[in-house]
Structure 1
Amino acid sequence: MAQKKKRAAGKAVLVTVLLLAALLFLFPLILIFLNCLKSQSEITASLLALPTQLHFENFPNAMAQMNYLQAFANSILITVCSVAGLVLFASMAAYQVVRRKCLASRIISGLMVASMAIPFQVLMVPSVIVARELHLVNSRPGMIVMYWGFLLPMAMFLYQGFVKGVPRELEEAAMIDGCGQIRAFFRIVFPMLKPITATVAIINILGVFNDFTLPLIMLSSQSLKTLPLSFSVFYSSYLNEWQLIMSGLVLSIFPVLVFFLLMQRNIMDGLTAGALKG
């Protein structure tokens, strides 16, 4: 009986600690949702107070000033093209590096791993200079190409471990039946990379969609701005419209939150599969 009481007490303490930790992590979100329906004067008076009147007009006003639909379309287009190309190039590059046992493959693999140790802040200025010379600045295709370059090393590194686990005999059997190497890759190897493909795609979708720094240094036209970048319209030297900032944050969080809830099982399965494979 005493043992059961100790276990029950320990479980109660654990649940309490977890609930407090969850509340701590959710507090910023609660604060945003609490203030997005307030007026500017109410937010200035107290961030923690409940709204005396619900100002639903904050949302259409924020959407209009942010050019929300255009910014959202830009984010979706850049994210989809960047991640689709990344999955294609990273998987094919990893396949070639793993299957070709030569010095060039080892050098390429080593350079890819070494490049992951370089902080993005170190590459910001050189990247903009190179992008300007290649006429990639202030364009959606330029943004997509830049994301391919920055995200490829990590994605390729993740794919390599999974490609090593695919039996070479399956490819050889397909080639005996008349498949070329490219066809064998897409028919045999790539479908077996589904767990790591889901992991790479989901992680990079969230990362690219929420990215602020690269669009900030690459895009200057208002019509090309992505969703995170469109918040700058609310900030000025003399006044910050906090009720619109909070409403804009909610509008920006909503697509990511919906995507995460819909893909939650795939996210966990992909991360678990990746951990077990490594």
Structure 2
Amino acid sequence: MPERNRYSAGLLAVEAAGILLALLFLSPFYFLIVNSFKSLGDILRNAAALPAEWGLDNFRKAWTAIDFPTVFLHSLAVTGLSVIGLVIVSSMTAYRIVRRPTRFNRLLFTAFVAAMIIPFQSVMLPLMRITSVFELRGELYGIVICYLGFGISLSMFLFHGFIKTVPQEIEEAAVVDGCSPYGVYWRIVFPLLKPIVVTVVILNVLWIWNDYLLPVLVVNAKFTTIPLAIQKFFGQYLRKWDMAMAALTLSTIPIVAFFLLLQKHIVEGITAGSVKG
């Protein structure tokens, strides 16, 4: 008769530690949501207390102060175009490197991987110069091109590991049936990359949507994103924490909903590409 699994003290301690750790990581969301309903005076007096009255005045003021619908569309356009470009370019690059393992392609893959360890701060000044010379600064396509350059290394690396698991026999069968090289990729290979595509999309959306440093260097008031717009609440002598918290809550809602909807595919995509089938 099999021995029953016992709820040991060690397992209880691990679960308790996990719960405490989860509460620790969730505490910023508590402060964010609670303080978005409080006045500036209440926030300064006790930021951890619950609001005396739950009102939407802060949200109305923040909505108008930063023209939230406009900056939301700007962030949506920048994020959407950048992620679509990253998926297309990095997946096709990884497919070519995997299926044509020439010396040049292996060297190219090494260069992409090495680029992942270069800190952004070390290329800020050259980036400013390049965007100025090629007139990329202040334009939507300029910030999209910059995100393509900085995001392609990790995206290509993830696609590279996953494409190795795709059986090459199905591609050869498609070629025998008269399918072109581009047809093989888009009709046969790309549909099989769905798990890793979702992973790449989630990781890049979380990065680009919340990014502040690159937009502040490249874009201007014509394409202000949400992180740049929220910065106006923090002046040299006054910080409007009440409206800033409300604006941050508004900007967090869509990205949290997007993440919760697709987060299960992150582990699936990464683990599927970690072992060659």
TM-score, length-scaled by structure 2: 0.92
**Deviation at 1:141?**
0.8
**Deviation at 1:4?**
8.7
Aligned twin of 2:88: 88
Distance across 2 between alignment mates of 1:105 and 1:18: 44
Aligned twin of 2:166: 166
Aligned twin of 2:129: 129
1:192-224 per-residue CA deviation (whole Å, 9 max, x = no partner) reads: 222211111111111111111110111122x31
**Does the 8 Å CA contact 2:198/2:262 hold for their aligned counterparts?**
no
Distance across 2 between alignment mates of 1:54 and 1:5: 47
Mapping of residues 32-51 of structure 1, within 5 Å: 32-51=32-51
Distance across 1 between alignment mates of 2:13 and 2:231: 44
Residues 101 and 53 of structure 1: is their aligned pair in 2 closer, same or farther, counting only changes over 3 Å? closer
Distance across 2 between alignment mates of 1:76 and 1:83: 10
1:98-144 per-residue CA deviation (whole Å, 9 max, x = no partner) reads: 22232221221121111112111111111121111111101111111
Distance across 1 between alignment mates of 2:197 and 2:154: 12
Mapping of residues 44-63 of structure 1, within 5 Å: 44-63=44-63
Distance across 1 between alignment mates of 2:140 and 2:44: 38
Larger CA deviation: 45-54 vs 246-255: 45-54
1:13-39 per-residue CA deviation (whole Å, 9 max, x = no partner) reads: 333322222221111111111111111
**Deviation at 1:169?**
2.5
Distance across 1 between alignment mates of 2:244 and 2:69: 16
Aligned twin of 1:236: 235
**Does the 8 Å CA contact 2:196/2:266 hold for their aligned counterparts?**
no
Residues 20 and 103 of structure 1: is their aligned pair in 2 closer, same or farther, counting only changes over 3 Å? closer
Distance across 1 between alignment mates of 2:52 and 2:83: 44
**Deviation at 1:269?**
2.6
Residues 12 and 176 of structure 1: is their aligned pair in 2 closer, same or farther, counting only changes over 3 Å? closer
**Does the 8 Å CA contact 1:195/1:274 hold for their aligned counterparts?**
no
**Does the 8 Å CA contact 1:128/1:218 hold for their aligned counterparts?**
yes
**Deviation at 1:150?**
0.7
Distance across 2 between alignment mates of 1:270 and 1:48: 38
1:250 equivalenced with 2:249 (yes/no): yes
Distance across 1 between alignment mates of 2:177 and 2:158: 30
* Root mean square deviation, CA, Å: 2.1
**Does the 8 Å CA contact 1:195/1:269 hold for their aligned counterparts?**
yes
Whichever residue aligns with residue 125 of structure 1, its letter is L
Aligned twin of 1:185: 185
Residues 181 and 31 of structure 1: is their aligned pair in 2 closer, same or farther, counting only changes over 3 Å? same
Aligned twin of 1:120: 120
Larger CA deviation: 260-269 vs 238-247: 260-269
Whichever residue aligns with residue 92 of structure 2, its letter is M
Three-state SS of the structure 2 residue aligned to 1:7 is coil
Distance across 2 between alignment mates of 1:236 and 1:87: 38
Larger CA deviation: 138-147 vs 95-104: 95-104
Aligned length: 275
Distance across 1 between alignment mates of 2:119 and 2:20: 34
Distance across 2 between alignment mates of 1:167 and 1:4: 42
**Does the 8 Å CA contact 2:87/2:200 hold for their aligned counterparts?**
yes
Distance across 2 between alignment mates of 1:160 and 1:54: 50
**Deviation at 1:162?**
2.0
Distance across 2 between alignment mates of 1:245 and 1:129: 32
Distance across 2 between alignment mates of 1:10 and 1:156: 41
Mapping of residues 119-158 of structure 1, within 5 Å: 119-158=119-158
Distance across 2 between alignment mates of 1:274 and 1:67: 42
**Does the 8 Å CA contact 1:65/1:233 hold for their aligned counterparts?**
no
Whichever residue aligns with residue 210 of structure 2, its letter is N
Distance across 1 between alignment mates of 2:169 and 2:267: 30
Calculate percent identity across the aligned residue pairs: 39
**Does the 8 Å CA contact 2:39/2:242 hold for their aligned counterparts?**
yes
1:32-56 per-residue CA deviation (whole Å, 9 max, x = no partner) reads: 1111111111111111222223332
